[in-house]
Structure 1
Amino acid sequence: MRRRDFITLFSCTAATWSLAALAQQSAKMKRMAFVQSASKVSRMTVSGPPWYGAFFDELGRLGYVEGKNLGVERYSGEGRTDRYPALARDVVSTNPDLILAVGGRLSLDFKMATTTIPIVTIVIDPVALGLVANIGRPGGNITGVTIAGGLDIIGKRMGLLVEAMQKLSTVGYLASRPFWEDARGAAAREAAKRAGIALSPAILGNAFNEAEYERVFRSLEQDRTDALMISEEPEHAAYIAMIVELAAKNRIPTIYPLREFADAGGLMAYSINQVDVYRRLASLVAMILKGANPGDIPFYQPTKFELVINLKAAKALGLQMPAMLLGRADEVIE
């Protein structure tokens, strides 16, 4: 064989081996679409907030490492609920192996967009929302994390607010109209009725944006609302600093659905432990990527909740927090 022919043959053979190796590596690579309702894409990484770090660390422990055998495509709805249906269709068109969608309204749009791609989600009550028929055996292509007791957490937050303010008579409830008009709003109204207080809806318009929050807080000031509750909707997360600032400026004691609000200067937060929840999400994602059917996987119901009280905020509001309430808090910010 001539030297030139040998070199050509060797090069072809090497190229074939290289392509085969790439094909094998590609076959092992899984693709996950990570979609948040409002959080910035730049935060959805291992170096972002602790819960995202916990999520990717747990995925790695379970055998899926981003850039090695897992591709992660990140998206954010930026709190623009009108864009969710188009976002869901765009993500589904890329045909990922799994979609991690955070938020009830966003998850409903993904449910409409695909019945085959596995979806993992976090929602307050997937049955009440119409996402699945049963949390124990969801069926279909959706599973995830729900809050233990479902809508009862709304009543628990209201009870904490009543305990903090003994002369409480009127509470505002800041939420979108769809939230207020479905089972979640009904749960808030029932909780207020049981507590013997008046509940005043503070309804956002068609979008979560600065102008809408400013308008709602102006109306709360005019209505002389004693205190405020913020709904569970993840879209609020894009405006944490603004909401806390408006509540402080208008001197409205407020209870929030995530500890991030209390960390930012809000009075109180009662929420699921997000680090624990995101670890559980990672385990669900790993199970599905390994071949499990999401419809056979029960929704995980977290049992870890945390009450965070910000004494700096209480002092600024002129509130004397009850000693028993402070004693039950998981963390007191002084």
Structure 2
Amino acid sequence: MKKSLTLLLCGLIMLLTACSGGSKQTSGEEEKEKVVKIGISQLVEHPSLDAAREGFIVALKDAGYVEGKNLKIDYQNAQGDVNTNTSIAQKLVGEKNDLILAIATSSAQAVVKSTKDIPVLFTAITDPVGAQLVKSLDKPGGNVTGTSDTHPEAIKKTIAAIKTFVPGAKKVGIIYNSGEPNAVVNVKNAKIALKAEGLEPVETSITTSSEVKQAAESMAGRVDALYIPKDNTVVSALESVIGVVNSRKIPTFVGEGDSVKRGTFASYGLDYHDLGYSTGKMAVEILKGKKPSDIPVGFPENLQLFINKKAAQQEGITLKEDLLKGAKIVGE
């Protein structure tokens, strides 16, 4: 009898131990870290937008969100195509991502139009209010916020630099895509700045990147300098502009520093990697529970004069060392 009771108790103990072990395993599965899904819609490939995307991902990584571990990123690029841009927005919304990042104005507009529920962040946007992405910069409202790449003084300082480095300039050419809302805003502000400096704008608008070279060639003999705003279509074909301005000796000023690194002469710009990083920090706040409507739109804090000495030589610009004080020299 005692032997039977002992065997029964041993059996019960083994059974309880097994159940306990199984329960612990189930608990471990339940506590498995959630994988965050983030969709990224980018209008076109060019260094500034690429750098913003990379900075965004680095900020997530620094906060503990790592691809392949607890983060899944679906990166889509429209390659400048309007219809593809819309399809990408619908795809990312349909796949129910936890958050969507839109890079450039047209991409942001398409995503914002496609969802009122999923949190949306934008970056590399010229005029978030004018593009109807947010109600105001301080109080965005809805499910959208992000960062603008337009420092209030950037265009003014870049246009003023034309008078500094090309003192005899009278006419300044502008190439832009009239279908890009961000480019239209930049050109409007550039024309105001040109007028303030006593310079005359000479505009040429294009619709596709294949038209950029011809537009640049049309400026030869008509202008004393060229200004290229933050225009994704033109910047995506920047090398075709550089070939023309080098052969025709046209000093070229641009809307952002990455284009100077690629071979144009000068710009008062910002670091797009830093801009993307700031946007990534916003994403972390949202993933931890903060509402996009409670996060004000961010702006670049600092401007830097970018100068490409090699481009200066190729574009026929004589540089004096006193004009380079405080400038970031690139392209050497």
Q: 1:326 to 1:82 in 2, by over 3 A?
A: farther
- Of 125, 128, 132, which residue of structure 1 is paired with 2:127? 125
User: How far apart in 1 are the matches of 2:52 and 2:148?
Assistant: 16
- Of 188, 193, 199, which residue of structure 2 is paired with 1:186? 188
Gaps of 5+ in 1: 1-9
Q: Is the 8 A contact 1:254 1:266 kept in 2?
A: yes
Quote the residue 1:95 is aligned against: 96
Quote the residue 1:219 is aligned against: 218
Q: Is the 8 A contact 1:37 1:235 kept in 2?
A: no
Gaps of 5+ in 2: 1-17
Q: 1:246 to 1:33 in 2, by over 3 A?
A: farther
1:287-306 counterparts in 2 under 5 A? 287-306=285-304
Q: Which moved more, 1:192-201 or 1:122-131?
A: 122-131
1:72-91 counterparts in 2 under 5 A? 72-91=73-92
Could you tell me how far 1:98 is from its partner in structure 2? 0.7
Q: 1:189 to 1:92 in 2, by over 3 A?
A: same
AA aligned opposite 2:116 = T
Q: 1:18 to 1:259 in 2, by over 3 A?
A: farther
Q: Is the 8 A contact 1:308 1:333 kept in 2?
A: no
User: How far apart in 1 are the matches of 2:54 and 2:178?
Assistant: 33
Tell which structure's C-alpha radius of gyration is larger.
2
Q: 1:89 to 1:249 in 2, by over 3 A?
A: farther
Q: Deviations over 1:16-38 (max 9, x none)?
A: 9888766654x711100122111
Could you tell me how far 1:101 is from its partner in structure 2? 0.7
AA aligned opposite 1:259 = G
User: How far apart in 1 are the matches of 2:324 and 2:104?
Assistant: 31
Could you tell me how far 1:265 is from its partner in structure 2? 2.0
User: How far apart in 2 are the matches of 1:91 and 1:199?
Assistant: 40
User: How far apart in 2 are the matches of 1:134 and 1:51?
Assistant: 23
Q: Is the 8 A contact 1:37 1:79 kept in 2?
A: yes
Q: Is the 8 A contact 2:249 2:316 kept in 1?
A: no
Superposed CA RMSD in Å reads 3.0
User: How far apart in 1 are the matches of 2:215 and 2:30?
Assistant: 55
Quote the residue 1:5 is aligned against: none
User: How far apart in 1 are the matches of 2:29 and 2:175?
Assistant: 52
Quote the residue 1:327 is aligned against: 325
TM-score (norm 2): 0.83
User: How far apart in 2 are the matches of 1:19 and 1:80?
Assistant: 48
Q: 1:84 to 1:19 in 2, by over 3 A?
A: farther
1:1-334 counterparts in 2 under 5 A? 25=32, 28-39=34-45, 53-122=54-123, 123-147=125-149, 149-150=151-152, 152-179=153-180, 182-205=184-207, 207=208, 209=209, 211-221=210-220, 224-331=222-329, 333-334=331-332
Q: Deviations over 1:252-273 (max 9, x none)?
A: 2111223232222221132112
**SS of the residue 1:284 aligns to:** helix
**SS of the residue 2:174 aligns to:** strand
AA aligned opposite 2:272 = Q
Q: Deviations over 1:157-194 (max 9, x none)?
A: 21112211001111111111134784433212211111
**SS of the residue 1:276 aligns to:** helix
Number of residue pairs aligned between Structure 1 and Structure 2: 314
Q: Is the 8 A contact 1:270 1:306 kept in 2?
A: yes
Q: Is the 8 A contact 1:148 1:303 kept in 2?
A: no
